[in-house]
Amino acid sequence: MTAETAAALETEASLTRPDAATLRRAYLLMRTADEMARLYEENKAVTARYVHATARGHEAIQLAAACFLGPQDYAAPYYRDDAMLLGMGLQPYELMLQLMAKRDDPFSGGRTYYSHPSLRRAGFPTIPHQSSATGMQAIPATGVAHGMKYLEGIKDEGLRTKDEGVEAGRLIAQSEGLFQQLAKNLSSLILNPSSFIHNPLVLCSIGDGAMTEGEVAEALQMAVLHQLPIIYLVQDNDWGISATGREMRSMDAYEFAAGFKGLHRLQFDGADFLASYAGMQQAAAYVRQRRGPVLVHAKCPLLGHHTSGVRREWYRGDNLAQHTLQDPLPRFHQQLLELGFGEEELQQLAAQARTTVQQDYERALAAPNPDPATFQDHEFAPPAVTEEAGERSPAGADKALMVDAALHAVDDILREFPEALFYGQDVGGELGGVFREAALLAKKYGDARVFNTPIQEAYIVGSTAGMSAVGAKPIVEIQFADYIWPGLNQLVEELSKSCYLSNGQFPVQSLIRVPVGAYGGGGPYHSGSVESTLLTIRGIKVVYPSNAADMKGLLRAAFLDPNPVVLLEHKGLYWSKVPGTEDAKTVEPAAGYVLPLGRAAVAQVAAAEKLASGETCVVITYGMGVHWAKTASRQLPGQVEILDLRTLNPLDWEAVQAAVRRHGKALVLTEEPLLNSFAESLAGRIQRHCFRQLDAPVFTLGAANLPAIALNVELEKQMLPNPDKVLTALQELLGW
């Protein structure tokens, strides 16, 4: 007998059948879900104002899954999981508040779709925000499990480095909250509370059609690589929207999962409550015993519409009649009769469900709508750092390269904050990043904290949403800015919207480091600038330091900020080897130095006498632009102020306006291709708001409008700005 077989037998031996109270409550909730779907259809003129889907056909597996979730657990339901939410203890009234986008919708305050929950509530599983859950949710949910496993390591073993320890008391106190919920308010749950005195787990619910998403494969890969405590519950009804399984896939989820070595698989009838209960009990036991991740494949009929906006009569034909034969409600009704329940009792439960749903619907109809004045609330959580603090220029300190300042800032954070992790491609092990920006950190803090990922930008970015939800604090790296594009789906849909759509419940604390910019022959896939694309994403912050001191202070502030922050780090400034970038090397601030986001700095002051005589201008720029402007302005002594933005979002608009009004002439300088860029947008904003103070048009300068940077260094020079091009622009501007 193999060890795996023995473990499976041990798990099966510990399984218990649902008791009478569990069966009774499950039937009541199955009836409740059915009544909700019926009522929504009967009142579709009201309920279909906003798109929704229901659980019809999926109730059995969803209620069975809810049986094995406790307050210490995390869940990622998908848009059809309203029966699962009922099983967790939510009331029809609460779901209807979301259905009608009402003010008191407990998940989003009327901001997001039905059955798109976000919940932090004592006695309930935690449900972090997620997008519309068509595959993307697998990565944040896996990030929750990843963070959970890491925090368990803190609790159980304490965190140790090669050369120094961390205070165990503070360490355990910070992670204890994850485990303390476990005994709270269990009486409202279906299953016997004693079953929850175990390790927490994550349940990620997903439709089979979404299993074809590439991001799902990334999540499964990391789950098996790190043996994470997660159940992937695949509800397979053989439909996408109007596409059948036969059209969408060459294999079902159970067959697909066989390719992930170390992923335990279970398969059963998701329309049979008793079979689903036994299967989910086995899955939960397996994960709680920390034997690794599980994929559950549960076949279900689709009895309702795909959504209220895509009605079944448009495309289902005879298929609907076939699916109706598998309806879980009459099947469960018959099973209960065979188990000794009386017909009268079951009818009473059905009547109770009908009454509750009708009353809750009437209450929800009368509930107030959101106050329109609150529409802007919760774009960001309040910043943690609002003032500069610490020593920027300690006496006797040596100058540091920008790359070393970044390394030291991360080192300080890992030493001070045991909940912090650092991961990405090639940042772990011996290399410590292709730019050595994480050199030796893995050896110092261990592979559980500083580690390599596969080539999976989506996972690197999206997992931080899950990490943040569970209390871990991730720092991650995209190897080059040109590689960030596969991660944008997660950045836009999961990270940027989380705080706003969860009504402030789930801001995502995420620091994403991105080496950016050209540095002499890097070519088309290692030289790109991406800030304008990032700045069209609302709900994230974008930071761009130009020197070592700012790098250290801004990196720490970005880590402490409770929101997603992308830190752009120009590769050409890392070592100050590019001519004219010597000023990027500065005295290194002391450990703990912090610089608030959203504060620009005057990197070079114009001479007072030149300003008084109207002979000056301001260059508004960031990153490499600061150094191009400094070099160019040597030919124009005293005539050029340089405003280093340092943070592009939030923008220090007050500093920009003040500088423009001070000089009356402005050049906005960027390394990006100029057309439709952040620089052009800022120039337009300046023209609109500072028009009366301008003595010349706002000038802009950037790279040529080409799709990529050529490998040949002479071609690169032709495309990019440089000090000579900046000087020409400044001379023209000052000549107005």
The catalytic residues are 526
Residues whose CB falls within 8 Å of the CB of residue 306, separated by 6 or more in sequence, listed in order: 53, 239, 241, 242, 312
SS (H, E, C) 432-465: CCCCCCCCCHHHHHCCCCEEECCCCHHHHHHHHH
Say how far residue 255 (Cα) sits from the centre of its chain: 29
Angle at 263 between CA 259 and CA 268, to 5 degrees: 95
Say how far residue 626 (Cα) sits from the centre of its chain: 32
Residue that the structure tokens 């010349």 belong to: 696
Q: Is 117 left (phi over 0), alpha (psi -120 to 50) or beta?
A: beta
CA dihedral 656, 657, 659, 665 (to 10 degrees): 110
Concatenated DSSP letters for 486-530?
GGHHHIIIIIITHHHHTTTS----EEEEEEES--SS--TTSS---
Among 365, 361, 371, 363, smallest CA distance to 103 is for 371
3 state SS of 160: strand
Do strands 450-452 and 420-424 pair parallel, antiparallel, or not at all (unpaired)?
Answer: parallel
Name beta bridge partners: 516: 570
Q: Is the dihedral of CA 413, 417, 418, 420 positive or negative?
A: negative
Q: CA-based Rg of the chain, rounded to a whole angstrom?
A: 29
Residues whose CB falls within 8 Å of the CB of residue 489, separated by 6 or more in sequence, listed in order: 136, 215, 458, 462
Round to whole Å and give the CA distance between 594 and 638: 31
Asked if omega into 200 is within 30° of 0 (cis), the reply is: no
* Element (DSSP H or E) covering residue 277: helix 273-288
Longest Cα–Cα distance of the chain, Å, equals 98
710 and 523 Cβ atoms separated by less than 8 Å: yes
* Other Cβ atoms closer than 10 A to 374: 13
251-261 core/surface letters (b: 16 or more CB in 10 A; e: else): ebbbebbeebe
Among 491, 523, 525, 522, smallest CA distance to 508 is for 491
Name beta bridge partners: 307: 310
593-621 core/surface letters (b: 16 or more CB in 10 A; e: else): bbbbbbbbbebbebeeebbeeebbbbbbb
559-580 core/surface letters (b: 16 or more CB in 10 A; e: else): bbbbbbbbbbbbbbbbbbebeb
254 and 267 Cβ atoms separated by less than 8 Å: yes
Round to whole Å and give the CA distance between 368 and 275: 42
Residues whose CB falls within 8 Å of the CB of residue 730, separated by 6 or more in sequence, listed in order: 617, 619, 632, 633, 636, 639, 640, 667
Round to whole Å and give the CA distance between 625 and 303: 60
